[in-house]
Amino acid sequence: MKKNVLSSKQTAILKFIKQFIESKPYPPSIRDIKNGCGLSSTSVVDYNLKILEEKNYLKRDTSVSRGIYLEAQKHVSSLIETSDPDTTINQIELDDLEFENRGDSRTITIPFLGYIAAGEPLSIPPSDKWNSNEFDSVEIPAFLQKGKNDLFALKVKGDSMIDALVTEGDIIIMEQTTQAQPGDMVAAWLNDNEEVTLKYFQIKNDKVILRPANPTMSPIEIPANKVSIQGKIVGLIRSLS
C-alpha cells in the first residue's frame, strides 16, 4: 500500500485525532477513537493506527494510554481536507474488509459503468447494457466478490454522502441487486426521471426515503412504485493527492 493512499477509515481516524488534539490539551485514547469514529472494536483502531504509524502520519508511545502524536500537521490537514477526483485510481478502499483480509493479493475485473450522483440524480446506462464491450473495467480484490458474480463500478459525483466518507471522485463497488434493507447505501433508479442516485435506503409506509449523509441536503421521498434498487455498495476505490 502506497504511503500517500489511505483507506477512508484511516482518513477518518486522522481527522478525528487532529480535531481532538485541537480541542483538548491531550491526545485521544484508542477507546476515544473507537467511539468517535464509530468503529467496531479497539482492535480495528489499533490495526489502522499501526498502518498510519508505518506511513509516518503519526507516532505512538504504547507505554501510555494516550501516546498518539501526529507527525506533519500541515500534511495531515492537507490529506484529510483535499482530494483530486481526476487523479488515477490506485487503491482499493477495504474498510473492515481490509482488517479481515489484508494480504490477499488476488484480483478480479468488473465493469466500470460511468457516473452516479451523490447529490442530484444523474443518468447512467440502463442495466441491460451493463455487460456491453463499450464499457471500461476496473480491478478489485477478489475477496470483495464473496461468491457474487454481479459486481460493477461507478464513479461518484457530488457530496451528499460525504458524512459516510463517500466523496466526489471515489469509485464505488456495487453488488447488482433489486433488494435492500433499511440503512443500506444503494444505487436507486428513479423511474420517472430515468436517473440513478446514491443514497441510504429507508422505508416509510408506502414510500421510499432516499437519505443523504450530508446535513445540508434533504432526503428524496418517493412512492415505492416509482423507484427501483439497482445495487448496493460493497466497497470503494479512492486516490488521495
DSSP symbols for 21-60? HHHSSSPPPHHHHHHHHT-S-HHHHHHHHHHHHHTTSEEE
- Asked if residue 2 is part of any domain, the answer here is no
**Structural domain count of the chain:** 2
pTM across the whole model: 0.54
Domain extent, residue 30, equals 8-81
Residues 64 and 101 reside in one and the same domain: no
Q: With contact defined as beta carbons under 8 Å apart, do 10 and 48 qualify? A: yes
- Asked if residue 87 is part of any domain, the answer here is no
- Asked if residue 86 is part of any domain, the answer here is no
Q: What is the pLDDT of residues 124-165, one digit of tens each?
A: 555 565 555 666 788 877 777 777 778 888 888 888 888 887
CATH code of the domain containing 140: 2.10.109.10
Closest among 127, 218, 121, 120 to 174, alpha carbons compared = 127
Q: What is the pLDDT of residues 155-189, one digit of tens each?
A: 888 888 888 878 888 888 888 888 888 888 999 98
For 24, list phi and psi in degrees, rounded to 5: -135, 155
Rounded (to 5) percent helix, strand, coil in the chain: 25, 30, 40
- Could you give the residue numbers annotated as active site? 160, 199
Q: With contact defined as beta carbons under 8 Å apart, do 21 and 71 qualify? A: no
**Integer Cα distance of 94 and 144 in angstroms:** 9
